[in-house]
Amino acid sequence: QRFMARQLAPRTVLYTEMVVDSTVVHNEHKGLERWYGFDDVEHPVVLQLGGNNVEAMTRSAVLGERWGYDEINLNVGCPSKLVSKNEFGARLMLRPDLVREMVTSIQRQVSVPVTVKCRLGVDDFDSYEFAKDFVARIPECDHFIIHARKCLLNGLSTHGNRTVPPLMYERVYDLCRDFPGKKFSLNGGLTCVDQIGAIADEHPELHGFMVGRAAYNNPCLLPALERRIYGETLRGAFSR
């Protein structure tokens, strides 16, 4: 799927699915091709990791860099009940000091960028001040990819958490204003070229956009977005 996406969108940054730290540690000596393998044409490609053990997350990141990934991303926004039960994903937004410890530990061991993907809040911790404090408590991270809604860890399915809590794009714009030295990319509810293009025009302070389900369901969205954002045809992009 990433290989096909790269043919359609030469400049788009691609992400892996979330790889759990314990899976990596348990399979390191058996072989990691199933989880870490990718084709060279997929660059730039980001390894997304999930977990809550500093040593295991750091080891997973180090191995990811050795495999050739261009960036390490910590998923602190997954609302899955199984993930939450194991105390990682979005539940880690309630433990910003642990997230910071993982970020800084990984940064000491790898040379590629280390980023964080998160939500705006969790359960009743859903004020703008909560999101602002979360970002402030991880000063070493300079790029946050934010799904612009909170999640409910008890009461909603994973699908429900992608659709039921209201989108709050304005809070991401506010984070851009309050942290001008950091980069923020917008995620959540992004479905078409006109919508994303309009947001990009109106909010140039945003670093980028993460599009997941919409691109998965309609891969042709990717080249259309590249034309809108970069002003290039597919052939023109491939000629570089």
For residue 192, indicate whether it is catalytic: no
Q: Which is the catalytic residue, given 78, 118, 141, 151? A: 78
Q: DSSP states of the chain as a string? A: -HHHHHHH-TT--EEPPPEEHHHHHHHTTT--HHHH---GGG-SEEEEEE-S-HHHHHHHHHHHHHHT-SEEEEEE----HHHHHTT-GGGGGG-HHHHHHHHHHHHHH-SS-EEEEEES-BTTB-SHHHHHHHHHT-TT--EEEEESS-B-TTT--HHHHHHSSPP-HHHHHHHHHH-TTSEEEEESS---HHHHHHHHHH-TT--EEE--HHHHH-TTHHHHHHHHHH---HHHHHT-
Token pair recorded at residue 17: 């699915």
* Catalytic residue numbers, as ranges: 78
